[in-house]
Amino acid sequence: MTTDLAQLDASAQAALVARGECTPSELVEAAIERIERVDPHLNAVIVPLFERARADAANPQLPAGPFRGVPLLLKDLGCHVAGMSVYGGTKFLRDHDWRSPVDSFLAQRFRAAGFIFLGKTNTPEMGLSPTTEPLTYGATRNPWDPERIVGGSSGGSAAAVAAGLTPLAHAGDGGGSIRNPAGACGLVGLKPSRGRTSLGPEIGEGWAGCTTEHVVTRSVRDTAAVLDCVAGPGTGDPYFAPPPHRPFIEELGRDPGVLRIGCFTNNEHTPAHPEAAAAVTSAANLLSDLGHEVDDNYPDALNEPNLGHLTSTAVSANLAQQLDGMAKQVGKPVDEGGFEPATWAMAQRGWALSASEYLQTVEGLHAFGRRLRTWWREPPTNAGYDLLVTPTMAEPAPYIGEVRGASIERILRLVPYTMAYNVSGQPAIGLPMYWTREGLPIGVQLVGGYGQEALLLRVAAQIESASPWQERRPRLHA
C-alpha cells in the first residue's frame, strides 16, 4: 500500500478498510513497524501486544464496527481487558505481573467498535503526576522536543498519537490527565461529562466522582465518533449523563449559534506564563471573529483557595483504598518498596483519614461543584455563559526532571486549570490552537455546561475548520 498511514486519523484509516483498500492486518503491521522504529526515541509504549493484535486482525470474526481494524493503544491505567496486564506505573503490580480477570465495559465497547488493542502506554504511578516519568518505566519524551515532558497522566498515549504511532489512544482523566497531555503534545483531548462513559463493572466511581475515560486524537471527528461508540451507562453505574439528542458525530458542521464565552487565565492562585495567556488571547480573538460574544468574565468559584486541599484529601483516601485492593488482588500485602515515595506518603495520608473526614471532604467537593456550575447556562435557569476558555497547562511543557518529585505548589502552578471540572463533572475539551516561538504546542481548553459535549464538539469543529492543525508535525514523527 502506498498511502502513508501515519498521516491519517482513525476515521480515514477505517474508511480504507471499509472500502477494501486496506486490511486490518495491514493497518496493524504498519503500526507495529512505526512503533518499533520510533518508540525507542519516545518510551511511550511499555507493553507491546503485537502477536495478540496480529491474531485479532486476522480473525474473520473481527467486529464490523465503525473503526474495524484500526489499532488502538491502551493507557496502562483503567480500561481493563481480561487476561491483560495492568501495572498502573507501579513496581508492585509489575513485579507480580497482575492481570485483569474481566473486561471493563469500556474495553468491550472499544472492541465492538472494531478497534484492535496494540499495546499499553506509559503513565505516572497511579496517575498521580502531571508528568509521565515513573521510576518503573522511565520518562516518556515529547515528540515536539524530546527534552520536554508530555504531561500526565495519559502522557504515553499522547506522545504515541502525536508521533503518529497510532491515530488515537485510550486516555483517562481524574484532574486533567486527558487535557494536559493533549495540550503538551498538540492533540485533541475531550474529558466527557461525569457518567458519560462507564468505569464498570469493577468501579462505580473513581476519585470521588472525578475520573472519566475517553481517548486522545488528532481530529475532532475522531473524538466525536469514538464518543458515539463508548458513551452510555453500564449495568449498575451509580449515575449517567443525559443522553444526546443525536449522534455526536452529527454535531460537527452544525451551527452553534452566537455563544456567550468567558476567558480565564489569571487570578492570585493561578498565574499564567505569557505564552499560555497569549494562547487564550489568540483563541478569544478567533472565537470573536467567528461571531461569538467573548469577554474576560469567569466563575467566582475559581478564586476559592481550598480546592487543592479538598482534592488531594479525596485522592489520598481513594489511593489508600486502591492499594488495599491491590493487596487483595495479588494476595500479598503492599509495602513501601513497591511504590514511589510520594505515592506511599499520599496513601499513608489516606489511611489516616477518618470516615467522617472523608465524607466531609466529598461534601466540600460537591458544594464547590454546585457553586462553580452556576456560571454556565444550565437548566432550569438557562442563564449565564455557554463556554469558558482557559489554557490547559499554565506554561509550555517543562523539561524532563523539572516537575517530577517537585513540591505540590510547583505542580499546582503547572496544572491549575483542569481539576475544577473533574470536581463539577462538566465536559471540557483541549484543542491544539497555539504554538510558541520555539515550536511547542500549548493547548486551549473549552469548558461547557454539564452534559454539553454536543456544543463543545460543534465549536471545536468550527475552530478546527477556521484554524486547522493537522498539517503540523512534531520533530519526532513516524
Q: Which residues pair with 216 in a beta bridge?
A: 169, 189
| Cα separation, 434 vs 440, whole angstroms | 8
- Examine the residue annotation and report whether 177 is marked as an active-site residue of this protein: yes
Q: Which of 11, 129, 157, 177 is catalytic?
A: 177
- Closest by alpha carbon to 371, among 415, 312, 420? 420
Q: By the 8 A CB rule, do 26 and 68 touch? A: no
Q: Which of 75, 85, 198, 424 is catalytic?
A: 75
| Cα separation, 469 vs 359, whole angstroms | 44
Residue holding cell 508521533? 163
- Examine the residue annotation and report whether 153 is marked as an active-site residue of this protein: yes
Residues 6+ apart with CB under 8 A from 247: 228
Secondary structure of the chain as H, E, C letters: CCCCHHHCCHHHHHHHHHCCCCCHHHHHHHHHHHHHHHHHHCCCEEEECHHHHHHHHHCCCCCCCCCCCCEEEEECCCCCCCCCECCCCCHHHHHCCCECCCCCHHHHHHHHCCCEEEEEECCCHHHCCCCCCCCCCCCCCECCECCECCCCCCHHHHHHHHCCCCCEEEEEECCCCCHHHHHHHCCEEEECCCCCCCCCCCCCCCCCCCCEEEEEECCHHHHHHHHHHHCCCCCCCCCCCCCCCCCHHHHCCCCCCCCEEEECCCCCCCCCCHHHHHHHHHHHHHHHHCCCEECCCCCHHHHCCCHHHHHHHHHHHHHHHHHHHHHHHHCCCCCHHHCCHHHHHHHHHHHHCCHHHHHHHHHHHHHHHHHHHCCECCCCCCCCECEEEEECCCCCCCECCCCCCCCHHHHHHHCCCCHHHHHHCCCEEEEEEEECCCCCEEEEEEEECCCCHHHHHHHHHHHHHHCCCCCCCCCCCC
Q: Which of 11, 104, 129, 153 is catalytic?
A: 153
- Examine the residue annotation and report whether 154 is marked as an active-site residue of this protein: no
Polymer length in residues for the chain: 478
Backbone φ and ψ for 421, nearest 5 degrees, come out as -90, -15
The letter for the amino acid at 128 is L
Name the residues annotated as catalytic: 75, 153, 177
